[in-house]
Chain A
């Protein structure tokens, strides 16, 4: 078998379907050029949507409103539990309600710059344009955004920008936006336009004659494996941060839908671009099953510091002011505590590596509200952050109004994902990817309050326009026959895999393998990466895979509710995806955004991008498990925001 790292470079990706012309006109141009489906014909088209988070929920509801027949899936017991529900801080929109100089162009500029010049300008501009409509839509649905006494909407600022453009619903913005989408979807379910399959997990994609025509899914209650057919398939299955085992993702968030689509031919772009969020609650021990995020909005009023002296283990209140290092304010005076996430995370890692970290194991920094409480009063702080403070107190048994919070970076979001063109279509015709599942808008680093924006932009506005074009050009041809070889093969592969997991009867649990791959990834493909470390990981991953298939133990049967089997099957895919992430990180010998290669830094230790070599999106084509994939480059062209070394000083 060829060495996995000896990848070859294939044809570059040249056609992204983005129109040419002024960037501000491109979305209008594309919408006008897209073919439409006659309203009367729409109900003859079936669209499968996998996932019910912000992207999937809003897409399913909107497609159904347009008249399409939607068949939607979620593995949770209800669409309302998708992990978008946990997003705390807010959603950006270029409304300029603060009259502070914001505009669509500024949001576009901030997002391209924040993404460290690794996103497609056309897509990002469209996102900024649509941001405005999203707020209107959500308010009309009854999303209870924070308001001021005059009855108008309130805003706050977020990391990496200097305007207040973030709309929020206390610390539960994701929950409120998700419930808005869920309620719109519920209305369509009641109307019979959406057929919902909850507790049903997609396990494979069905590709017939080169087009995505359906999925293989398992009913998680009965264990029954079924096939579902459609004229197009939309993946809204979220990101793959759980490959790290410990992350802020929900326990059941997983990469199976996108990885199976990748194995069937969809290119996977920029897998190494993962976001490590700076403000999470530090872990307490080996029993830790997940990490909890504290909204980045806390950085608006909280000040981050560590002791100046190494190994200073006095309690925070005994460390005098002049012996504290407010390192973000010191290094980045212009943005201070509001630098982008990747920069804040790396700075925290650096001070901890220097031996100045606080709390158990020295893996933490203080986020201190003493100054904010003195300035605004405790009541105002409670009003703004009460639920976050309560959550912190519950988890740590410490009172953050009295002692500073301890925070540490944790895996939070994945900018990489399935490669999509301007229409959000993957390299498999008829297969679309939206929300965190695609790679499209955040480049190498996502700014705060932009994930909710992108999920809803894709689901409410972009996909419902662009999918028309595909369906109009690919009119319903013939019914898929359940006996078609592409169908029987996909079903057989799925059944064989599950049966094998049950048959091995080894001596290790699915969780033990998940933990092992996660620790490996955190060490070698986490906040800082080196060629040496990545090569170590790439040597180790095939060994873990081999051991997995020898030693995995899954009790019970496949014909029942079996959470161990679900978990083991997801770990199978992590064990392959992890390898691609490491290879992508190895090949990208530059630092950019969330991807920091120690070999590529400026003299003062900041990330050094290498535009002349790496100004492209890396789209990987699958060959076979453990075999070297093929790299397709999509060159990035910057006509409006000219790449500069990011500076937040």
Chain B
């Protein structure tokens, strides 16, 4: 396959960026999207140019590092992570636009790399259960009904990639935040911190500069792990409940 790539290049957070055009040839259908970019980068290095910077690590769809907007879609045309997108999803001769996540809470570090530490700070605000090492009772002391355990797992699958934010017209982090709130709040172990968790995480989310949610639903469409849109309404319910309870 022969492709034309239009790639966002930006030297650092302060520098202005622009799209640059590159041609790549000899791309196999079996390559992953990132292997296609590897091919481009090897050519750039040999030509004395700086390779295109992008985040990636496990290349198995689980670490959440890769983060490209491809032809306007977060993670591209398939519902998966960028690393699990293969070139068989494209046609010979295609022109492909490649951009970083676009959101004010995710400033660009270089080229296609963005700073997602705001996600870490949302978790630090309450996305945990306080259980210092050594304090745990036997694992079977508290049975968890299977539907609750399954629901917790479904939300815990979030990989923290940020595609939800990149896809949202408002740059909202509601799907990410609600995934963690629902994972922990549905479990009996999470109950003691149920109210403070949702209140503190939502407050931090707002402070970090993420936009408000208008239930557009783009987030759930882009999510490679299928975190469902009702996750957000469930969190809103938790938040209202917590507010009422704390006020009382």
Contact = CB atoms under 8 A, between A and B. Distances in A.
A187 B124 contact: yes
Contacts of B247: none
Contact of A77 (B115, B133, B152): B115
Contacts of A170: 153
Interface residues of B, number: 77
Contacts, number: 218
A583 interface: no
Contact of A564 (B51, B58, B120): B51
Nearest to B153: A144
Interface in A50-84: 58, 61-62, 65, 76-81, 83
B139 A292 contact: no
B145 interface: yes
Interface string B117-136: 10110011101111111111
Interface in A377-396: 391, 394-395
Interface in B59-91: 59-65, 78, 80, 84, 86, 88
27 contacts: A79-B120, A86-B62, A137-B131, A139-B189, A140-B129, A142-B128, A142-B184, A144-B149, A144-B187, A147-B144, A152-B140, A175-B62, A175-B157, A183-B127, A184-B133, A252-B57, A285-B31, A287-B31, A287-B39, A288-B35, A395-B84, A395-B86, A507-B46, A509-B46, A555-B50, A561-B53, A562-B50
Nearest to B59: A290
Interface centre among A133, A509, A553, by most chain B C-beta atoms within 10 angstroms, is: A509
Contacts of A189: 120, 124
B160 interface: yes
Contacts of A250: 57-59, 63
A150 B11 CA distance: 56
Interface in A26-65: 58, 61-62, 65
Contacts of B184: 142
Interface in B135-178: 135-140, 142-146, 149, 152-153, 156-157, 159-160
Interface string A260-286: 000000000000000000000000110
A148 B42 CA distance: 50
Contact of B46 (A137, A151, A293, A553): A553
A394 B124 contact: no
Contacts of A461: 133-134
B63 A86 contact: yes
Nearest to A149: B146
B45 A564 contact: yes
A289 B46 contact: no
A97 B140 contact: yes
Contacts of B137: 136, 140
B32 interface: yes
A151 B144 contact: yes
Given A85-B63, A183-B129, A187-B128, A135 B139 contact: yes
A190 B31 CA distance: 41
A136 B139 contact: yes
A555 B65 contact: no
Interface string B99-125: 000000000011001011101100111
A172 B133 contact: no
B94 interface: no
B227 interface: no
Contacts of A183: 123, 127-129
